[in-house]
Structure 1
Amino acid sequence: MFSGVAKALLAGVLVAGTAALGGCGDHGEGVAQARAAEAAKGTDAVPVEVAKATRRAVAASYTGTGALEARAEAQVVAKTSGIAMEVFAEEGQQVKAGQVLVRLDSDRARLQVAQAAAQVRKLEANYKRAVQLEAQQMVSANDLDQLKYDLANARAAWDMARLELSYTSVAAPISGVVASRDIKPGNFVQINSPIFRIVDGSRLEVTLNVPERELAKLQAGQSVTLAADALPGRTFEGTVDRVSPVVDTGTGTFRVVAAFPGQGDLHAGMFCRLSINYDQRADALVIPRAALLEDGGEPAVYVARDGKAARTVLKLGYDDSGWVEVREGLKEGDAVVVAGKAALREGSTVQVLDRDAPAQADAKAKVPAAQAPR
């Protein structure tokens, strides 16, 4: 039915079509292989988050814990025995030094004072007459000396009786707040028994036992920041009051006492955390502490460069509130790995994730449809 030319043309068309189909197959296979290679490459890359080395102010500090103590505290004891007739102070009451807290039964002591006073008056009269008689040589020098001695003893006994009488009024030895009271009106009080505890809360202290390596860094007058567990979210400022120059050979520590003003929300007995700042650098190169590797070796980080992870050894400086100063090993702007570093090795391919991307995606999702950009 077809002529020779037509048959030749038809054969050429069939060959060309077959060649074209073969070419399309080769092209599709190449695209698939490229995509597979790209997927394999993406699978091998370790997803990481990075932070750039930047500059900021850092402070060097020593941190420790301790309990607040009152600088002055007194245990009030009875210096004589007797029945408590009146009690003038309660727990939590502010008292002043010398203020009477308890009055004991004083009848016996008053009688002893009167008796001693009478004895003194009698001996004074005898001594006065003896002096006159001695001038007339009617009394010997020995008798006059004996009367003088007896008078001195009587006066001492009178002073002792008056002192015992004063002990029936128990006074506060220091100014402060009554922390405890162990006496009630009508109680019999034994001599030397504690009946009150007074705490001077106008000045509070915390004692730290600091390792000897810090001895050259800490000194009196340095600022101290205090945070109490009982007062979350608040800090208080104080100073280093005194530093012991002696290191305890048993513990290898020395004592540092920090002082804080009282009469506020701080109270003796509170557990607190202290930070003593002893140096500061205003323009230090820092990285997040989370970037440091925890492999037990010298300080190092992974730096992301050209899609690869490079382990870099560092020389560190101060450590301050989540930031670590880098003295050697990095330059400003270097991207250090802060998340995903556990899966990295030297030369690992990394895929840097945008840490702000999830937050941006959430923000976009919360935009109402009416306000979404068109």
Structure 2
Amino acid sequence: MQPSSAFRRRGPLLSAVALACLVALSGCKGNGDAEAKAAEQKGPEAIPVEAVPASHRAIAASYTGTAPLEARAESQVVAKTSGVALDVLVEEGQPVRAGQTLVRLDAARAALQTAQTNAQMRKLENNFARARQLADQQLMSASDHDQIKYDLENARAANRLANLELSYANVTAPISGVIASRSIKPGNFVQINTPIFRIVDTSKLEAVLNVPERELATLKAGLPVELSVDALPGQTFKGTVDRVAPVVDSGSGTFRVVTAFEGGGLLQPGMFGRVRIDYDNRANALVVPRVALLEDEGDPAVFVVRDGKAARVPVKLGYTDGAWAEVRSGLKAGERVVVAGKAALRDGTKVQLIGQGAEASAAAKPATSTQ
């Protein structure tokens, strides 16, 4: 059979369409191969990181610990005699000085006893004066003279005791400080040796640290101390190491370090504080942020940005001070260490600086001419 005339007319058209499709498919394949080859040549994309330069600054070696503040001196005031409280002269929170009268007790009985012993003493003094004259004239025996003398000494002692009991009617402060508590009111009957006040000396405050024995050679009296307390956030207070007890407790392996601070202000006994003792200082140490240190189990190291890649650099560390770590060897000043994004890095990984590190890097590059 001969093909129809219509088919003969469509034959060249179908051939042209087929040829165009083959050309298009060939072009798509060519473009895909080119893109894949370009991506292969380009390699993995750079990982964004933040980096800061290693720099010089002052750094201190320190020991830190926590302890509550304690008053250097504290006293329970007790009544040394019994009696009714006629006057209570101080209130809680009131400052007092040593020897100041705090309470007056009923002293009528003690006053009568004092008057009685005083009269007996005067009588014996007169008797002894006459006995001495008689003894000089040999009109009295030596034994009678001595008996009157001993009686007089006994009367004098009884009078001193009566006066002492009378003085106990005025209850006085044994130390200077602040009345921390009061357990007496006017009209109360006070028993002997009963605590009625508690006085706290807040002029000096102490914090006692139990320090591991490895620090025994570094912590000495007179070292500067810095204190921060939970009750006063954002504030620090200066003090000193007051004394060191160099005996190591065999059970805990620690020794006591007593730090002292000026009181009378915001600091109060009982506040819980963090104590920092600086025992060495370096004025121009090479430091990096502590967040730049790699948290693996190997030797200390950091990632340094060199020629757009991350290089793992081992370092030898010195002192650590807050957010900074001293680098004794392995780095030079100005080298950029990665502080953010280091978890995804490996030695030789391509990196892209972002944040302040990128701005500083761009500013360090020389300007190109536009002419």
Q: Is the pair's TM-score, using the shorter chain for normalization, greater than 0.5?
A: yes
Which aligned pairs between 1:26-37 and structure 2 lie closer than 5 A?
27-37=30-40
Match of 1:301, SS state, is strand
Does 1:116 pair with 2:117? Answer: yes
TM-aligned CA deviation for residue 134 of structure 1: 2.4
For 2:278, give the aligned amino acid: N
For 1:208, give the aligned amino acid: L
1:130–1:144 Cα contact (<8 Å) kept: yes
The superposition leaves residues 40-73 of structure 1 with CA deviations (integer Å, 9 ceiling, x where unpaired) of: 622xx55443333222221212111112222222
Query: What residue number does 1:367 align with?
Result: none
Taking a change above 3 Å as real, the CA distance of residues 265 and 38 of structure 1, as seen in their structure-2 partners, is: farther
Structure 2 Cα separation of the partners of residues 216 and 357 of structure 1? 42
Structure 2 Cα separation of the partners of residues 187 and 181 of structure 1? 13
Query: What residue number does 1:371 align with?
Result: none
**Residue ranges of structure 1 left out of the alignment (5+ in a row):** 1-16, 360-374
Structure 1 Cα separation of the partners of residues 353 and 346 of structure 2? 18
1:50–1:352 Cα contact (<8 Å) kept: no
Match of 2:87, SS state, is strand
For 1:29, give the aligned amino acid: G
Query: What residue number does 1:327 align with?
Result: 328
Query: What residue number does 2:132 align with?
Result: 131
TM-aligned CA deviation for residue 140 of structure 1: 1.7
Structure 1 Cα separation of the partners of residues 221 and 109 of structure 2? 53
TM-aligned CA deviation for residue 263 of structure 1: 1.9
Taking a change above 3 Å as real, the CA distance of residues 297 and 33 of structure 1, as seen in their structure-2 partners, is: closer
Does 1:316 pair with 2:326? Answer: no
Does 1:219 pair with 2:220? Answer: yes
Structure 2 Cα separation of the partners of residues 178 and 358 of structure 1? 61
| Percentage of matched positions with identical amino acids | 63
TM-aligned CA deviation for residue 164 of structure 1: 0.4
TM-aligned CA deviation for residue 218 of structure 1: 2.2
**Residue ranges of structure 2 left out of the alignment (5+ in a row):** 1-19, 360-371
Which aligned pairs between 1:240-279 and structure 2 lie closer than 5 A?
240-279=241-280
TM-aligned CA deviation for residue 168 of structure 1: 0.4
TM-aligned CA deviation for residue 194 of structure 1: 1.0
Aligned length: 343
Does 1:60 pair with 2:61? Answer: yes
Match of 2:44, SS state, is helix
The superposition leaves residues 102-141 of structure 1 with CA deviations (integer Å, 9 ceiling, x where unpaired) of: 0001011011111111211222222222223323433221
Query: What residue number does 1:177 align with?
Result: 178
Normalising by structure 1, report the TM-score.
Answer: 0.83
Structure 1 Cα separation of the partners of residues 27 and 168 of structure 2? 117
2:301–2:313 Cα contact (<8 Å) kept: yes
The superposition leaves residues 217-256 of structure 1 with CA deviations (integer Å, 9 ceiling, x where unpaired) of: 2222222211111111111122222223333333222222
1:48–1:350 Cα contact (<8 Å) kept: no
Structure 2 Cα separation of the partners of residues 41 and 346 of structure 1? 14
Normalising by structure 2, report the TM-score.
Answer: 0.83
Query: What residue number does 1:8 align with?
Result: none
Query: What residue number does 2:157 align with?
Result: 156
For 2:355, give the aligned amino acid: R
The superposition leaves residues 332-365 of structure 1 with CA deviations (integer Å, 9 ceiling, x where unpaired) of: 2333332333344444x24334034999xxxxxx
Query: What residue number does 1:355 align with?
Result: 355
TM-aligned CA deviation for residue 316 of structure 1: 0.6
1:87–1:101 Cα contact (<8 Å) kept: yes
Match of 1:68, SS state, is strand
Query: What residue number does 2:147 align with?
Result: 146
For 1:129, give the aligned amino acid: R
Bigger mean CA offset, 136-145 vs 337-346: 337-346
Query: What residue number does 1:336 align with?
Result: 337
Query: What residue number does 2:203 align with?
Result: 202
